[in-house]
Structure 1
Amino acid sequence: MFDDLPIPQPVVSDVKAVVEFCRSERVAPPLVKVRSVLSLNRIIAELRDAGPLSEDERLKLLREAYESSLARMAYASFWLFYDAVNQESARQSDLLGNPENVDHPAPGSTSTLPLLARRSDRDLLEPFRRTAHRGRQILRDAAPEVADLLQPALLPPISWTRHPISGAWAFWNVQLQGKGKGKGRPIIEVNCALQAPKTQISDELLEYLLWHELVHHVLPGRGHDGEFRRLECLWPDFARLDHELDALEERFDMSKAFAHK
């Protein structure tokens, strides 16, 4: 009954518990309002605050965090959660890159680099279609069970952000606001700071960034786990494009790109 709902979905054990309650009590189970937040950053901070730990001690703390939080809903197994924590910890230690990340330029900073210009007519849909088409070809060999999620009819809506945002070049997310069919469905937004001429931000670079977001689309709720990294690096020229995106601040003055209009 829950296969067509966005992540997080109820875990099998919880569904079985509700069914068994109804069978035994013959009434609907009481509803209890719960508010909870899952933060990998907080879990990683707690691990670091705990000081030197043996692997058994670290596993015990992570197991407690998994079983006492929304992690059980966001990750299908403890080992997927364990992998996500390790990936995020490595990323925070600069051992792994993330093409979504961006550092906002300091207010009032001066630069002799060329300005990253803004082009309001820069097309996003055509690079997105090409990315999805190439992505389907990659997934048919690498992960055929999810390849059909990149069929045109199943692609999420895509758009530029209304204003430049700090902290991310792009993001995949589930739309929680609004009415009608749009609510609860995935969307992709690309930072409009990249809405620049092709001579500065090439379609090739945009398509690599869009591929990163489409891997989130076919692996929802997985974060940057091992399977995510495996699929991400199958994109042609992955390493070069990842470095190019990381080095944008070294090539361009970003102050105009991040100015709100």
Structure 2
Amino acid sequence: MSTKWKALIAIVAVAVIVAVAIVLINRPTEQVAQPEPTADSGMVAGKLGFPVSKISIGEGGTKTAADGKTPIGYNGTCDSAVQAAANYTPLLVDVNLETWETQKATINSLAVPGPWLESVLLPFSVIADSKTQGTALKTFDGGWMEQSDVKAGGLYRTVSCEAKKTAVVQVFFGALGVSDSQPQGYFGTRTMELTWKGDWKISNAVTGINDADLVSRLKDKGPTGGLGVPPTGKIPPLDEQIVARYFKDLTKEGWVEYANATR
């Protein structure tokens, strides 16, 4: 393998894995269309102070994507867009060298083509391709480099939504990433734009590459970063201390707990 290729693998691996330790800074934005009212207008606050929705992670779909696990087939309401965003988040976070090709095919089946898609796929594809080039990459539990648990974060923010047209939703998730010893737990945010094309399809996502237009519609990119503690191999339960760490300098406005968030 050439020195140039090894350098590229190292750079991309760092971009995907280590960048989760950088806490994103709040930035002001322009106004966006408000989501339509939903049946959740009577939501009560949960143990962490966020309103608790009736919407659950893993629900809303009427069938399953080709990967055999991602729910698809939504009814087009704004509530279903929030369900779809949670269910699509692992596709934009997970990296498993053994199952990447299936994940990539599922992403393509749920994507509205555009420059954003190449930005999403490129880092993961380069890492996965390194396997065939003989580059040894550290993994855990059967090929994982990043493994999300949406319920561990269990929060969403509807930035904008018009039923059966478009929606922008942010999802706060928990995850494990590779480290020098045990897997390292962390929390992060995935922001996606969904467009209705007979089902909710991903038409844009915040990747850090050429996504200024989408970012301009957000209050902020959402809480993301490392836990600042030695790796334990587990994602810790979200508590007040962790919330305070991740939402420092960011607004909690608009964030809502999924009904089945892990608490």
- Judge same fold: TM > 0.5, yes or no: no
* Higher helix proportion: 1
Q: Which has the higher contact order (CA 8 A, sep 6+)?
A: 2
**Higher share of residues assigned strand:** 2
TM-score, structure 2 normalization = 0.29
